[in-house]
Structures are given as structure tokens and as C-alpha cells.
Structure 1
């Protein structure tokens, strides 16, 4: 929410990767097999049982951790894990005070935030496969005069965040929209114009720095090349072919189906660590919180405006990583990563709209997203045969690091979700209690 769509617990790198790495401080550098053999499991039973937790064990563990997260302050949690064995685990936990707004269900729609970038990158790669775009195209080719030094910035640099462009969500002009107090309609071109008003952070291609302006530029390119809106591109090229009945690119604040309500603390309960300019959200108030569900996510644009459900997102992830949406050559480009931290060249990496990280339970691919009221993580294995999605119905705590209790409980849940996705027990060193 601190206007950086994907950053959650940490301010310097990708939340999923670093959360999991922090949860395995001693084992993160070990191979998965070494970690499993050297750490005690938390599921109980025989050694063979611990090697592959049962559906009931997975569900009980995740249910306990989701309820604990709600107990320490999260208004709601939805979890879906499919370990490829035929019966996904779906978990819902909800604070009692939120039930008067909506009874949370596993199939509810919610705002995906920066997970949108994976869909946006998929659209680009589809056009690359059709010969209509090339990853080596300079942005100047498609948006002449719109991006300073655009002749040196390629579409690949935009997609993998190596362009050096300033993040438009750090500009005060966008802040009222983030808070829900300004209902103006943002187009990719307008968001791009905000971002490029600022000096670049570094020369193109020399470093990595997450910037939503990259995807505003990509959104403008997509609309220019196709003559079609982003909402229609998402619908026609991804949603309809895959039968995603509750997934869409939001063009205003309305929802199309039952949806999870997202909340942030009201001004009186906002922790002192939150800057003054981010303490007052628009929305109905009760129980010390603001319901931000009716606020327009349009300021997220191609970087963060998609709405989906855990079930739909699992189907999308499977289709993408199994090669249903992209030919093999473009799927390989999607998975070609750059390190997000130069001090860890073999650490977490960012591809084209997708991130990856290695844990003792396995190497995951996916993204995360955060905007007011909605913190989401969507991950899968390399081929999309295993998937998992987590929604936490509040987000400011992660942007500003203001609630250690929620952070600890969220980390424990995310760690267990990834291990459950791989059908493995959580090593004792990472057990959230």
C-alpha cells in the first residue's frame, strides 16, 4: 500500500522470497533433501507419513495457522493449496466483527494487486509469439516521445524491472486514489506520465528496482499495438479461453460477484509507524477499521487492477506454467530471471512478470500483490502442477512494518502453504508454533 504494489513484509525485495528465506535461516542454503533429512517434521506420524502429509494433516495445519493470523488482527484469510494429488485444501478464517459485512467464502473474488503483472507479461509474450512485438523493441518504437531515453529501454527491461524508471506510486498525485478519496480514472498513459516526470534511478539495464511505472508503460504499449483496452485483452486472451468466471481487469470500483471485504485500521487505530499521509482511508467505518472494498483499484492499472479468486488464479497459473498460454520459447523467456539483490546473484530472481525463490520445500514461481485491504500471494511449482494462493484482508501492516504479530503469523502461514503445496512437512526451524 505504501505506494508499492508488490512489497509486503520487507521494503527492499520480494515478499514471498524473503519471507520464506527468513523462515528457514539455517536451511535456506541447503538442498531440499538435506533440509528434509536434517530437520524434524511438525506433522507427526511415521517417517513415511511425514514425507507426504495427508490431506487432513495439511488442512488442520493450515486451518490452525489461518485462525491464529485472524486472532492477532487480520480481518480475514483465504487459503487454497493444490499439491497435485487431486483434492485441493481450501481454508477460510474470518474475524467475527466482519461477518455483518460479508460471510467470507473460499470462492470469493478479491483484488490481486501486483499479481496482475504476470497476466500483463503473458499478454506481451503472446504478441511476441505472434510476431507483433519483440522483447528487444525499445519503448520509443511504440511510445515515441513518452519515455525519456526510451531508445535505450527495451520491453524486456520494463517487464523485468531493469529500466531504472521511477515508481509512479511514489508520487503524491496518485496518493488520493490509493486512499480512495479521489475517483479519477487513470489510464496507462496517464500513470506513465506521472512516473516519467521524475529522474530515472539508474541507467537502463544496469540494476534492478521494482517500479510500477514499467507496467504502466507496458500497458500503454499493449493498447497502442492492439488498439484494444487492457480489460478486453485480459478477457479475450486469458479469461475466456481458460474459463475464468470470476477474473477480470477492473475498470471501476464495482465487483461482479461475491467478494472479500478488505480493511485497514481507521485513523484512531492506525499504528504510529504509518506516515500521516497514509492514515485516512475512504470507506465505511466500524470496529476500528475502514472497509476499503468499494475503493477503485484503477490506479493500479496494468500493474495491479486485476480481480480474481483462489480457484481462478490456480487455473491461470497452471495454464501459464504448463505452456497452455505460451509457446515454449516465450515460456522460457518468462522464466529467464535477473537477481533482485546483487549481493545474492543465486538468490531470489525476477523474470518477466514473475518471481522465483528456493526453499527447503521446493522452488516456487509466482508473484505477490498488495494494495489497501488486500495482500495476496500466488505461487506454483515450475510446471504449474502444484499451486497455492493466500489472501489476507488487510495490507498496511506489511507496507510499513507496523504489526509484528501479524507479520509473524503471516510468515508462518505462507511458509506452511508453500510446503503443503509441495506435499512436504515444514522443517522444525521454520515452524510457526
Structure 2
């Protein structure tokens, strides 16, 4: 959970449509045509089985395109709107990294600090693991979300409040995957450690840090760090198929999700994302996240030196050093329509992809209100429709026409 699965949809889409030169222009270049195309693709994604879809695209040249589509059976729970709050999952990592880099800029932390300096004895081998390694997933630490102890919380059956320290303790019970700094492997334990460091250095909670250093200065009224299941505003409901309708590729234990059941689905909206911690507990909206992305990439939240550090990437796949890269809490990849920056997030009921360009002048967010199909690559029909939508969203963000193949999605 809280994985890099959603951005994989973007990258898979890029692979599926490799030639931007094969693109056809819009029927006209206006926002009406853009909106109609994106709305059609969002509707196709719902028809393919997604309970709901929210899209927001800002190409930096006019009024953003905002779309909300939902399956008819979900309307009894909530009428979905483009302004609804939703679980951001691992997009949280970009905010956590921003907080760390702010403290670096203030001289309170250094990227070269060993984690043992701030959490003595809490991380085996912590003298050789730097904060930078935690931020860019080169520490070698085991991912705590792969431990069975987290499963009841992921399923909404255990409502305990997880702290950064407790999440970190689960992860470091396991042997490291490799020597620090020698490879790349996505691990939420890295960000549990960073959450504990932030709390130790500042004496403040992560919820307070997100509010005082990011949400309040940027006037993000629907962005907050969640420690329990409570929502603060109208919110998108998240769903997963019930046990009888779960795709065969999803492990059987995920058929035991807590929540109200109807129409072959479980409403997981009231399950707490708190187990995501500094790796995945933030709630936001498409508009708030666009404002955050713009502020971050344009240098409003970080000085130039720290923003450059954030953008310094390591290859996600060592066999393809020129392929997708991971910086400090942010990912990048080359798409047929442009080079994007951003992150993604996945937890039951909520699959999100957030994108921007290098300057923050353009941004896009896609929410799909079901996630396990992507986590376990279990539903080719939804995957195909999601790829087509993501391709169109990304090209629209860059002001480019969409490759022909995407229209058939």
C-alpha cells in the first residue's frame, strides 16, 4: 500500500503510446474540446468499473478543466464533485520531503546527517543511513506495509493510532534489503523514519507541521495530515470490490475490508489512513494540491538550493539509468508530451496521480476511487481505460495533442 503504483499507470501509458508525432490535433483548440475529450475518457473509466473519477488539469494558460464522473450506484452515498477531499496516499511524501528540506534550509538538519544522529539506536545500521537515503529510497530498509501487523489497519479493522515511531519499529524488525546507498527500493519505512526525525527536531506533531508550514501559508483549506478517519469537508467515497467480486489477482485477505457493503463493493471511506503516517496520511483536494505543486516547484516553499536537491534524482531501475527517476520525495519521467514531475498514491479506495512541470506552471491530478486493481495489477479493463485517461491528462497539461491510440481507450 501507499505505493508507487499510480505513477506506474502514467509510465505504462507512455510506453503504450510512444510517439507523440502520431498525435492528431483537437477538433478545435478551445477548452470545450479539451473538456469533452477528458470527460469522455473519464466516463469510459467509470464504465470499465471505476466507482468514481476526478480530474483537474491546468495547462497554465487559462481556466483549469475540472471533471467528476461516478457510477450511478455510488450516488446514494455522495454526489461526487471536483472539489471533494480525498486520501492522497504517497503524495504525502512530497510534503514530508518539503518539511525536511525547509529544516535543512534553516540549518536544523543536513541531508548528510546519519539517521542515528536523530534517532539513536532506533534504526539498525543507522550510522550509515543518511537523511538523503531515506528521502530517495536508497536506504535499503524493509517496507513496513509488507508486514502482516499492518494488514488489519489497511483493511480498516484495526483503528489504533499509529505513530511514526511505531511504524518505524515495524519496518526495522526485518533485515535490510541491501547495504545503504547501493540500490533503490521504494519503502514507506524511510518516511516513517523521517516523520520521527521531524517530530524530534521540531517538537511538533506532523499534523501541526503540515498545517503551519504548508497548508496555512498557502491557504490550503482542505489539506491536512490525518491521524484518524475523520474528514473535514465533503469528500469522495472510496470503494473496493467485496470478497465475492474481488478480481482473482488480489490476495484473499483483502476481501475482508471494513465498511458498508452494496452493489458488490465495500465503502472504505470511513477507514483511517493514519497507518500511512508521514508516508501517506495527508488529505487534500485537486485544487489545493495544484496550489501546493505550483508553490513548491516555483520556489515559494523552498530556497533554490534545496529545490535543486529535491530534483536530484536516482534511477528507479538501475538497468535503465535514463528512465524514471526518484528525487527527494518526488518522481520524474519522460512522457511523449513532456517531462513531468510529481508523485502518486494508493491506499484502499483511493488511487491518485499528481503531475506538474519543472516550473510549477502546469499541474494535473487524477483520482480513481478504487485502488487494489492497480496494487495487484488485477483488472486489465480498468487499467486500459486508466492509461488512456492518464495519457490525455498529461498531454493536455502540456498543451499538446493526444496520440491517436489514446482516443480508443
Q: Which category of TM-score, normalised to the shorter sequence, fits these structures?
A: over 0.9
Taking a change above 3 Å as real, the CA distance of residues 340 and 432 of structure 1, as seen in their structure-2 partners, is farther
What corresponds to 1:186 in structure 2? 162
- Counterpart CA distance in 2 for 1:432 and 1:316 is 33
The number of aligned residues is 409
- Counterpart CA distance in 2 for 1:71 and 1:194 is 40
Counterpart selection for 2:314 from 325, 338, 346: 338
Q: Measure how far apart 1:251 and its partner are.
A: 1.4
Counterpart selection for 1:20 from 13, 30, 37: 13
Q: Measure how far apart 1:164 and its partner are.
A: 0.3
**Mapping for residues 6-405 of structure 1, pairs under 5 Å:** 6-8=3-5, 14-25=7-18, 27=19, 35-36=20-21, 39-41=22-24, 43-44=26-27, 53-405=29-381
Q: Measure how far apart 1:400 and its partner are.
A: 1.2
**Tell me, which stretches of 5 or more residues in structure 1 are unaligned?**
28-34, 46-52
Q: SS of 1:56's equivalent?
A: helix
- Counterpart CA distance in 1 for 2:147 and 2:186 is 15
Q: Runs of 4+ in structure 1 displaced over 4 angstroms?
A: none
- Counterpart CA distance in 2 for 1:116 and 1:384 is 17
- Counterpart CA distance in 2 for 1:430 and 1:69 is 13
**Tell me, which stretches of 5 or more residues in structure 2 are unaligned?**
none
- Counterpart CA distance in 2 for 1:406 and 1:69 is 6
- Counterpart CA distance in 1 for 2:345 and 2:82 is 18
Kept in 2: contact 1:40–1:428 (CA 8 A) = yes
Kept in 1: contact 2:27–2:33 (CA 8 A) = no
Q: Measure how far apart 1:16 and its partner are.
A: 4.7
Q: Measure how far apart 1:195 and its partner are.
A: 0.2
Q: SS of 1:147's equivalent?
A: coil
Q: Measure how far apart 1:43 and its partner are.
A: 2.1
Q: Measure how far apart 1:42 and its partner are.
A: 5.2
Kept in 2: contact 1:6–1:15 (CA 8 A) = no
- Counterpart CA distance in 1 for 2:259 and 2:97 is 32
Query: Mean Cα displacement is larger for which, 420-429 or 105-114?
Result: 420-429
Q: Measure how far apart 1:278 and its partner are.
A: 1.6
- Counterpart CA distance in 1 for 2:277 and 2:9 is 22
Q: SS of 2:256's equivalent?
A: coil
Kept in 1: contact 2:11–2:335 (CA 8 A) = no
Taking a change above 3 Å as real, the CA distance of residues 432 and 215 of structure 1, as seen in their structure-2 partners, is farther
- Counterpart CA distance in 2 for 1:40 and 1:230 is 45
What corresponds to 2:2 in structure 1? 5
Q: Measure how far apart 1:57 and its partner are.
A: 1.3
Question: Structure 2-normalised TM-score?
Answer: 0.98
Please tell me the root mean square deviation across aligned C-alpha atoms, in Å.
1.1
Kept in 1: contact 2:10–2:390 (CA 8 A) = no
- Counterpart CA distance in 2 for 1:258 and 1:369 is 20
Kept in 2: contact 1:113–1:371 (CA 8 A) = yes
What corresponds to 1:31 in structure 2? none
- Counterpart CA distance in 2 for 1:54 and 1:220 is 48
Q: Measure how far apart 1:6 and its partner are.
A: 2.2
Taking a change above 3 Å as real, the CA distance of residues 272 and 120 of structure 1, as seen in their structure-2 partners, is same
Deviations for 1:194-222, whole angstroms, at most 9, x for unmatched residues? 00000000000000000000000000000
Kept in 2: contact 1:17–1:348 (CA 8 A) = no
- Counterpart CA distance in 1 for 2:4 and 2:104 is 28
- Counterpart CA distance in 1 for 2:331 and 2:212 is 25
Q: SS of 1:312's equivalent?
A: helix
Question: Structure 1-normalised TM-score?
Answer: 0.93
